[in-house]
Amino acid sequence: MNGNKQQVLKRCSICGGPYTDHGHNAAPAFKGMCCTDCHVLVVLPARLEQLRTATTKLHSKMTGMTWELLHPRMTAEWLGYLPGFLRLDDPRSAKEQIHERYISGWHPFQGAMTLRPDDKLKYPGDPLITPLARSQLRDERIVLYEHDWVAIIQPDRSFEVARLD
Ligand SMILES: [Zn+2]
């Protein structure tokens, strides 16, 4: 060492390269700080994507379930009674829980409904049915749609849909 104060070598948490300025917060792409190049090329796009896909999440302490509101006009009230039918501390499947707690029970629709990769439902001759909210009960996904349709989707994409009106 030549006696000068050694400049702390800062390394970008994204590319690993050194930088000398103050650096930038790398969140949400990475932890820590990053260089200006990575800030522009990696971090800012990640933040935009996060904004674009932002959804409102409602967590219920009572049921342990978190509901994501997927539609801009969706509100907690629109969820209706559905959140009350499902509890995380109940070991039974979503279908069994709804069947017990919903006054009319769970009666799967027997028509030719298909489930698209984006979780929209399609009934032949009808417009696509759009998801309004979704939740996760262990490995089962529960989706609420327009017109009171509810789908229970398994990890292998097999599903049942019923109308809970
Ligand atoms: Zn970098």
Write down the pTM of the prediction. Answer: 0.67
CB environment 35-48: b (16+ within 10 A), e (fewer)? beebbeebbeeeee
Rounded distance between C-alpha atoms, residue 8 and residue 12, angstroms? 13
Q: Can you give the pLDDT at residue 7?
A: 62
Paired residues of 152 in beta bridges: 142, 160
Using a 10 angstrom Cβ sphere, with 0-12 exposed, 13-18 middle and 19 or more buried, the burial of residue 155 is exposed
Distance 22 CA to ligand 1 centre (A): 13
Tens of each residue's pLDDT in the chain, 165 residues:
444 445 677 999 999 999 988 999 999 889 999 999 999 999 999 888 877 666 788 888 889 999 998 877 677 777 888 999 999 999 999 999 999 999 999 999 999 999 999 999 999 999 999 999 999 999 999 999 988 999 999 999 999 999 998
- Could you list which residues have their CB under 5 Å from ion ligand 1? 12, 14-15, 34-35, 38
Q: Can you give the pLDDT at residue 29?
A: 85
